[in-house]
Amino acid sequence: MNLEPTQEQTALGERLRAVGATQLGADVEAREHTRGLQPGDWQRCAQARILALPVPTAYGGLGLDPLSCAVALEGLGHGCRDNGLLLCLGAHIWAVEMPVAEFGTEQQKQRYLPALCDGRMIGAHALTEQEAGSDAMALTARARRDGDGYVLNGTKRFVTNAPIADVVLVYATLDPALGFTGVTAFLVDRDTEGLTVESRFEKTGMRTAPWGEITLRDCRVPAGARLGAEKQGSRILARAMAWERSLILAPLLGTMRRQIEQCVQYARSRSQFGRNIGRFESVAHRIVDMQLRLEAARLLTRQAAWKLSGQDASYAPEAAKLTTSEAAVATFLDAMQVYGGLGYTTDTDIERNLRDALGTRISSGTSDLQRVLMAEKMGITARARRTPPPAQAARPGGERRAHAR
């Protein structure tokens, strides 16, 4: 396994760093209050081919391998200060584009992928419900077969991109008694009758990333809107989560890198007791620990990316996501300490980065759930998989594949 970036990968990361630093994320502080992306940023990302990174070339993408994407996106995060924009991009690429690319029919790929790559369409992924968060396969949104189509009913919440999405990848069940085996995925266009979006909750961080609730009320979609086969939803979700957990936090590695570079500069220039604070061992060692966490998270992210190209990534995606999100929170807390009182003000990026990073320990499955999944995949808590016998199928809740998120 060679995780060292090639010259091409490094050059792409550098190019995206420059795009992020000079073209994206303007006025991020002001937009924390208005809760939205900078007008034009999505189109600029499309022009820079960021939306196209992993998508096959036949459908308007660059067709890059996951490791190249990891290096490229770390570069982007190094340059771009708007973590909300980076989250929106990640949800769009990993939880919508990739499922369409891997499970879509030829017609669905032709219809959605070129438009998702060139910025004409934005994607959202709608899984979470009020009573189905970590226990995602307990979802109750219903899909009822009706003639040559389906009728969808249910409410999803905390959906990143919901207010700006043109297409929503919705997970619904044909019958809650079937548990995870009943889950089916649908590509629902925003203008479909019966689909409404509301934005009720204010976020602690990632405030520039629009999110919301999606309600489906007797929302009729043609059979051609189904992604994959009936009852294949949990498989599609598992694969989408492998992509998302491996790569959605790759830009955050760049954010951590920028923050550490700033801490080094500050430690070399801020003087107390007649010497630069970096000369105090506790300050220097704190920054060393930040660097160690970054390097561990980067290696695990690249390892997960590498393994994604193979048949079974095992627990590499969970390890990458868990380590990177926890490293980010610890890094921004440490940065605040290095800067002292100044770090606690809103004059630096530190407090915003910290608030943004807190959300990454929850989205794409909480840190607890990453550990639960790793324990299962390591065989510590392995559970038997079975299809519910008919007698049990009628039981409320039916078969649950716990923690399928």
- Asked whether position 369 contacts ligand FAD by CB under 6 A, the answer is yes
Dihedrals phi, psi of 312, to nearest 5 degrees: -135, 115
Among 69, 137, 172, 206, binds ligand FAD (CB under 6 A): 206
3-state secondary structure at position 143: strand
Among 48, 62, 70, 91, binds ligand FAD (CB under 6 A): 91
Our CB check for ligand FAD shows the closer of 104 and 133 to be 133
Instruction: Answer yes or no: are the C-beta atoms of 360 and 252 closer than 8 Å.
Output: yes
Instruction: Indicate the residue whose CB is closest to ligand FAD.
Output: 133
Cα 280 from Cα 269, distance rounded (Å):
13
Polymer length of the chain: 405
> Within 10 Å of residue 271's Cβ, how many Cβ atoms?
11
Residues in contact with ligand FAD, shown as a per-residue x/- string from 130 to 149 under the rule CB under 6 A:
---xx---------------
Strands (E), 223-352: 226-227, 271-272, 275-276
Our CB check for ligand FAD shows the closer of 159 and 187 to be 159
Our CB check for ligand FAD shows the closer of 249 and 283 to be 249
> Within 10 Å of residue 272's Cβ, how many Cβ atoms?
11
3-state secondary structure at position 114: helix
- Asked whether position 193 contacts ligand FAD by CB under 6 A, the answer is no
How many chain residues bind ligand FAD (CB under 6 A)? Answer: 22
Q: Of the ranges 100-108, 122-130, 190-198, 281-289, which one interacts with ligand FAD (CB under 6 A)?
A: 122-130
Among 27, 193, 347, 368, binds ligand FAD (CB under 6 A): 368
Active site residue 193: no
CA angle 208, 211, 212 (to 5 degrees): 150
Q: Which of 32, 74, 129, 244 is catalytic?
A: 244
Specify the amino acid at residue 111.
R
Instruction: For residue 14, list its beta bridge partners.
Output: none
Which residues in this chain contact ligand FAD in the complex, by CB under 6 A?
A: 91, 125-128, 133-134, 156, 158-160, 206, 359, 362-363, 365-366, 368-369, 372, 403, 405
Active-site residue set: 244
